Structure 1
Amino acid sequence: MKSQPAPEASGCTTSSCGSSDGPSDMAPEVWEKVKNHPCYSEEAHHYYARMHVAVAPACNIQCNYCNRKYDCANESRPGVVSEKLTADQAVRKVLAVAAEIPQLSVVGIAGPGDSLAAGAKNTLNTFDQLSQLAPDIKLCLSTNGLALPDYVHRLKATNIDHVTITINMVDPEVGQHIYPWIFHNHKRYTGIEASRILHERQMLGLEMLQEAGILAKINSVMIPGINDEHLIDVNREVKKRGAFLHNIMPLISDAAHGTHFGLTGQRGPTAQELKALQDKCEGDMKLMRHCRQCRADAVGLLGEDRGSEFTAEKVMLMDVDLDGAGFEKRETYREHVESERATRHASKAAAIAEVAHIAGEKPILVAVATKGGERINEHFGHAKEFQIYEVTAKGAKFVGHRRVDLYCEGGSGDEDGLETIINAINDCVAVFVAKIGGCPSKSLEAAGIEPVDSYAFEYIEESALAYYASYTERLGSGAIHEKIGADASIRQGAYTARRA
């Protein structure tokens, strides 16, 4: 008998940023910090929303992969915003969003420059107000780490217990190819000297966060031919200094973005290159694989952006509750999620037990079309992204996501769009969907990808395990042949226009 769909309250419209571990895999005090944080917990991102407020336009370093854009609605990548905000505007916007989106659990500052540059005035002012007006919402920030050692004690005093540092190298020889310059102590540095100072400050800041009891997530951009293999060293060094989570992201290098790497033709990694590096770094160090490389003003569940609903102009016209801002709705929603989680943990354990007899089989990858809630609940033609799971008899593990063009636009299928979808998931043996038409099914089958709609609205992981049992049985009987995996492409460029 099929289970019934969960309430629409939960969801993540499109997964990768965090640990998939549960309460049994970490200290209780750490679990309490991460369980509702969609960027620190893979499980949480199915249920909880985040928002970034763009109050930090200044930056103290230059990265060859970055070009900040302050009035851009058609790109989805770090450093891009539609409008910059003052601290007061940001606080009002947070309270407006908190009242409308009960899934909101985290407010972060991630630029569009560096959150701690220029004295961190706007960042700290914003956090000081929010800690008083919405104390149930977690506060976090992202930084390149150059100024971090100067602010760790101040962040601790503001009850910030999550900090993300972008660390792309631990060797200045490598760093000089990523960072043209830094600005530190009123002086500009270039070359190896700039990278050396940045490296030393990043390591010091990370150590200070560990001493202060603040969880640190490390973001690293994988740049083939420059730091790809070196990121194994980065992983080792940040782990030694107590980092909680490592997020290895693909370089976005479209020439249209105007970055140095984009204009000089530096390529990003393929899906297989990225996964291979992540697999090498995974072990005692938790790896985040659901990161969306969000805009600096993103609002909503991971993979969606509702920022256009909450522009500064629209927020000024809203009747914003400055006392509570929807606290009761958020509390009710959290209670629902905790109940859902208990059911999910038991269901996953039972599904793994069902396939425990299968031994020695190779892992397979499956793609999933989902609107969220950990269910297969999206039509193939409506998917903007496919979540990728690696499945064995030990479980179904989320390992990434692939953004795609919509196949269905205006009620008809786009054959060019179908080709890009196949290119994005052609390392998968199957794609799970709620519904799919005959034409795309035939094209997928011709590419060696089995379209599966028999698990519509079922839970993803349990369905993946049931499929794995069927797949291995058919493989053993000779009914099907093992697919020779092809490389898959990671979508580059301005792939997600903001909702009008």
Structure 2
Amino acid sequence: MLTIAKSAGCASSSCGSSAKPDEMDSAVWEKIKDHPCYSEEAHHYFARLHVAVAPACNIQCNYCNRKYDCANESRPGVVSEKLTPDQARRRVIAVANEVPQLSVLGIAGPGDACYDWKKTKATFERVAREIRDIKLCISTNGLALADHVAELADMNVDHVTITINMVDPEIGAKIYPWIFYNHRRHTGIDAARILHKRQMLGLEMLTARGILTKINSVMIPSVNDEHLIEVNKWVKERGAFLHNVMPLISDPAHGTHFGLTGQRGPTALELKTLQDRLEGGAKLMRHCRQCRADAVGLLGEDRGKEFTIDQISDEITYDASKREAYREVVARERGDHVVAKSEAVATVKAAGSSKSLLIAVATKGGGRINEHFGHTTEFQVYEASQRGISFIGHRKVEQYCLGGRGADATLDSIIAALKGIDIVLCAKIGDCPKDQLAEAGIRAMDVYGYGYIETAISALYAAEFGSEPLAATA
């Protein structure tokens, strides 16, 4: 039996324990405090690495086409190079040596981590022997999950993501053409019924073991969008820690069945509306970036091109110094951020207004407004209301400023992506894009550059709905 020793971890002061929410169990906080996918707060500070060691898959999804060598695409199932377990070990060490924010190693395919189990297990064995404090997690469709729960627990894998898009096999038959189970292919409702039973069994077994589960669900308009309310109930009853509802990606260029048959994905407003309806059920994750199966870095960025296997020495060794130093810095920063966020939420609630603001923020991480408008490729979106300040999602955009100049067509697409946003906050913005955003009814400002996001939002909200009106520009 394989046993990977639990990390002794770092002292609580060096891991940012001061950021623990009052209502959260301490044992749960220890598991999620530096996991960027399981904690919205942690995603500002910590990075993940996916290694593409598991290409084989046992189901076919109508939204998936696992292409390779697509370095400019950012979607699940896509990788630039498949790795052996030994190559994956080298890549993890290379990233850990150069990306101090790294805290999590995940295996998310490009097929299924549980179906291609020997490679998944071998990779975890090799990495855990050398980097003992890295968190290990997998993503799976759940069909083969129950067969490996005991081994996952033995390896101290305490985070598992399961993609569950249905609990009604008739709806499942519209999403999954076939599955491969017990040495044969099943199709239609029969396939969906088997998949559903296996997914629920795997989830229940993980909950019984105390392993945290995140449920990913792809929102497919007119197929399972309304049904996801029922999915949310089922997974909550079976102990899921988070439910992540993601938009369908259905560009025909990707060659998926849904893309080629014209099935559209949801708009940002449709996604938010469904997520809002799910409040009160299983806890929602809203900061997902639908990462590639070989993603590297903070959520929202991908540094994979820096760590292709041809750039990494066969003799590479792990150096923990950068990661250890970074965690000391983060501990102090997170403590300050928590205090600032608490004060900001109190300010917003004290305004006593029933109105809300949607604010898009250009950020490179750290919970600060620290990205130039022209350099960002996504905006993080926050809502300020009488309930406080909440992160509600992100809007991906094309980079506006390339080679020192902005492109009008790109700005038009950014404005379209920011539909419904009231205010844009960034570290710097030029007069031209600011004026064009204003013409579209979006105020953009850089006066809060490099400050905490929540502090700026609270000042804007108080000025807008408190005793002093907010100026048209800043």
Give the aligned partner of residue 450 of structure 2. Answer: 457
Q: 1:293 aligns with which of 285, 290, 299?
A: 290
Q: What's the counterpart of residue 427 of structure 1?
A: 420
> In 1, are the aligned partners of 2:113 and 2:140 still within 8 Å (CA)?
yes
Change (3 A) 1:223 1:355: closer
Residue number in structure 2 paired with 1:190? 187
Displacement of 1:354 after TM fit?
A: 3.0
Bigger Cα displacement from structure 2, 280-289 vs 265-274? 280-289
Structure 1 residues 382 and 150, CA gap change in structure 2 (3 angstroms): same
Matched, 1:407 2:433: no
User: Distance between the aligned counterparts of 2:331 and 2:185, measured in 1?
Assistant: 50
* Contact 2:340–2:452 (Cα < 8 Å) also in 1: no
| Residue from 57, 61, 64 that aligns with 1:63 | 61
Which consecutive residues of structure 2, in runs of 5 or more, have no partner in the other structure? 1-18
The corresponding residue for 1:73 is: 71
Task: For residues 200-240 of structure 1, give each alpha carbon's deviation from its aligned partner in whole angstroms, at most 9, with x where no partner exists.
Answer: 00000000000111000000000000000100000000000
Give how far 1:242 is off: 0.1
Question: Would you identify which runs of 4 or more consecutive aligned residues in structure 1 move more than 6 Å?
Answer: 476-480
Give a deviation string over 1:363-393, Cα, whole Å, max 9, x none. 2101111121111111111111111000124
Report Cα offsets for 1:38-93 as digits up to 9, x if no partner.
01011111111100000000000000000001222121111111111111111111
Distance 2:470 2:196 in 1: 55
Answer yes or no: is 1:168 the counterpart of 2:165: yes
Shift, 1:478, TM fit: 10
Name the structure 1 match of 2:321: 328
The one-letter code matched in structure 2 to 1:309 is: E
Q: Note if 1:111 corresponds to 2:109.
A: yes
Structure 1 contact 395–461 (Cα < 8 Å) conserved: no
Query: What's 1:43 paired with?
Result: 41
Tell me, what secondary structure is at the counterpart of 1:202?
A: helix
What residue identity is the alignment partner of 2:370?
N
Q: Secondary structure at the match of 1:469?
A: helix
Separation in structure 2 between the aligned mates of residue 158 and residue 283 of structure 1, nearest angstrom:
33
- For structure 1, which runs of at least 5 residues remain unmatched after alignment? 1-20, 481-500
Percent identity over the alignment? 64
Asked if residue 360 in structure 1 is aligned to residue 353 in structure 2, the reply is yes
Kindly report the root-mean-square deviation, in angstroms, between the aligned alpha carbons of the 2 structures: 1.6
Letter in 1 for 2:100: P
Spell out, residue by residue over 1:298-328, the C-alpha distance to the aligned partner (whole angstroms, 9 max, x if none).
11111111111111111136x511xxx2223
| 1:361 alignment partner, SS class | coil
Match 2:130 to one of 112, 126, 133: 133
- Greater mean alpha carbon deviation, residues 198-207 or residues 41-50: 41-50
Task: Give the Cα–Cα distance (whole angstroms) in 2 for the partners of residues 312 and 193 of structure 1.
Answer: 41
| Larger relative contact order (CA 8 Å, sep ≥ 6) | 1
Instruction: Compute the displacement of 1:356 (Å).
Output: 3.5
1:252 match:
249
**With structure 1 as the length reference, what TM-score do the two structures score?**
0.88
**Aligned partners of 2:58 and 2:112 also within 8 Å:** yes
Aligned pair in 2 of structure 1 residues 229, 22: CA closer, same or farther (>3 Å)?
A: farther
In the alignment, does 2:211 pair up with 1:218? Answer: no
Q: What is the CA-CA distance between 1:406 and the residue it aligns to?
A: 1.4
Q: Kindly provide the amino acid, as one letter, of the partner of residue 283 in structure 1.
A: G
Q: Is contact 1:107-1:137 (8 Å) kept?
A: yes
Aligned counterpart, 1:309: 306
Distance (Å, rounded) in 2 between the aligned partners of 1:294 and 1:309: 17
The answer on 1:447 being equivalent to 2:440 is yes
Q: In the alignment, residue 90 of structure 2 is paired with which amino acid?
A: R
Matched letter for residue 273 of structure 1: E
Q: Secondary structure at the match of 1:25?
A: coil
Letter in 2 for 1:178: I
* Shift in alpha-carbon separation, 1:357–1:59, aligned structure 2, 3 A: same
- Structure 1 residue identity aligned to 2:110: P
Partner Cα distance (2:470, 2:56) in 1: 61
Does structure 2 conserve the Cα–Cα contact (< 8 Å) formed by 1:352 and 1:393? Answer: no
Contact 1:156 1:212 in 2 (8 A): yes
C-alpha deviation, 1:477, in angstroms: 6.3
Q: Is the 8 A contact 2:139 2:162 kept in 1?
A: yes
Compute the displacement of 1:142 (Å). Answer: 0.2
The answer to whether the Cα contact below 8 Å between 1:166 and 1:220 also exists between their aligned partners in 2 is yes
SS at match of 1:287: coil
Any conservation in 1 of the 2:378–2:395 contact (CA below 8 Å)?
A: yes
Pick from 382, 392, 402 the counterpart of residue 389 of structure 1: 382
CA deviation vs aligned residue, 1:318-361 (integer Å, no higher than 9, x gap)? x511xxx2223212221221221111111112223334432232
Q: Distance in 2 between matches of 1:390 and 1:477?
A: 19
* Farther off after superposition, 388-397 or 206-215: 388-397
CA contact (8 A) 2:289 2:300 kept: yes
Aligned to 2:11: none
Q: 2:277 & 2:311 partners in 1: Cα distance?
A: 46
Separation in structure 2 between the aligned mates of residue 403 and residue 479 of structure 1, nearest angstrom: 28
- Between the aligned partners of 2:23 and 2:120, the Cα distance in structure 1 is 33
Equivalent residue pairs, number: 454
Q: In the alignment, which residue of structure 1 is the partner of 2:14?
A: none
Distance in structure 2 (CA, Å) of the matches to 1:431 and 1:138 = 35
The SS at the match of 2:244 is: strand
Contact 1:222/1:249 (<8 A) preserved: yes
For the 8 Å contact 2:252–2:259, the answer to whether it is kept is yes
Partner residue of 2:83 out of 85, 91, 96: 85
Quickly say closer, same or farther: Cα 1:423–1:140, change in 2 above 3 A.
same
Q: Classify the secondary structure of the residue corresponding to 1:417.
A: helix
Separation (CA, whole Å) in 1 of partners of 2:78 and 2:104: 19
Q: Which residue of 1 aligns with 2:271?
A: 274
> How far apart, CA to CA, are the structure 1 residues paired with 2:20 and 2:229?
25
- 1:471 matched to 2:464: yes
Structure 2 CA distance for aligned equivalents of residues 336 and 275 of structure 1: 34
Instruction: Please give the alpha-carbon distance, in whole angstroms, between the structure 1 residues aligned to 2:172 and 2:299.
Output: 30
- Secondary structure of 2:180 counterpart: strand
Q: Distance in 1 between matches of 2:406 and 2:70?
A: 29
